[in-house]
A and B are shown apart, each in its own frame.
Chain A
Amino acid sequence: ELKVEQNPLFLSMQEGKNYTIYCNYSTTSDRLYWYRQDPGKSLESLFVLLSNGAVKQEGRLMASLDTKARLSTLHITAAVHDLSATYFCAAWAQGGSEKLVFGKGTKLTVNP
């Protein structure tokens, strides 16, 4: 059974600093997703990583995928308060499964 683990689960950082959120998954999966959730809101798709070595960037966020290591990272550059949210990674369970498995989420707080 696929397990998706994120760390850290809580991250408090100052504006202007850099940090990386890690997402490990336990079985082979060729696609990896990152979502953002603001408090009380639904999930918004951030990045779709479709192959080994894929890198996507949007503003101060950059996501990458290493399928051999079963690891995805979400790197935050020069954080700003607007990035405060909970970030989830997700992967499809094996073999054509219709189950998208989510990590527990990383709650990011960016302090002025």
Chain B
Amino acid sequence: SQTIHQWPATLVQPVGSPLSLECTVEGTSNPNLYWYRQAAGRGLQLLFYSVGIGQISSEVPQNLSASRPQDRQFILSSKKLLLSDSGFYLCASRIIGLVSGELFFGEGSRLTVL
């Protein structure tokens, strides 16, 4: 079975600082990968997804970007954080060919921008 690691688990950053969140997947190859954000209040918003190395699709225009430098690595970045970037960032993986099509989530990274 696959395991999804995210780090850091928690971080506090000042407005205007850069950001890098990392997600790595073990136990499967060539997964589809996703970044979701959950702001205070609960809803989940899809930010980016990737179907392969170097392939990134953006769902929401904003000051965030994503990259997939390796098959099982997905990175979320920002050059300058805004207060509104605070939230719980979740990386998810979908195993291609699995009939269920469900997403499996990592442990999350909680970002507070001050």
Residues of chain A touching chain B, judged by Cβ–Cβ distance below 8 Å, are: 31, 33, 40-45, 48, 50, 86, 88, 90, 92, 98-102, 104-105, 107
| Cα A40 to Cα B29 with chains together (Å) | 29
Of A33, A43, A88, A99, the residue contacting B59 (CB under 8 A) is: A99
B99: A residues at CB distance < 8 A: 50
Whether B7 sits at the interface, judged by CB under 8 Å, is: no
Complex formed: what's the CA distance from A105 to B43 in Å?
7
Closest CB in chain A relative to B30 CB, distance in Å: 14
A90 to B44, CA, bound (A): 10
B57 adjacent to A88 (CB under 8 Å):
no
| Selected contact of A43 from candidates B43, B46, B49, B90, CB within 8 Å | B90
Q: Produce 1/0 per residue, B45-87, CB < 8 A to A.
A: 0100101000001010000000000000000000000000000
Chain A residue with Cβ nearest B41: A104
For the complex, what is the distance from the CA of A42 to the CA of B92, rounded to whole Å? 10
Bound Cα distance from A8 to B43, whole angstroms:
14
Complex alpha-carbon distance, A84 and B43, angstroms: 18
Q: List 7 A-B pairs, minimum CB-CB distance, nearest first.
A: A102-B44, A48-B100, A43-B105, A42-B105, A42-B108, A105-B42, A98-B49
Complex formed: what's the CA distance from A42 to B42 in Å?
11
Bound-complex Cα distance A102 to B107 (A): 18
Q: Which residue of B lies closest to A46 (CB)?
A: B102
- Residue ID in chain A nearest B106 by CB atoms: A42
A100, B44: Cα distance in complex, Å: 10
Is the C-beta of B15 less than 8 angstroms from some C-beta in chain A? no
Which residues of the partner chain A approach B11 to less than 8 Å between Cβ atoms? none
Shortest CB-to-CB span from A111 to chain B, Å, is: 20
Query: Across the interface, do A50 and B100 meet the contact criterion of CB distance under 8 Å?
Result: yes
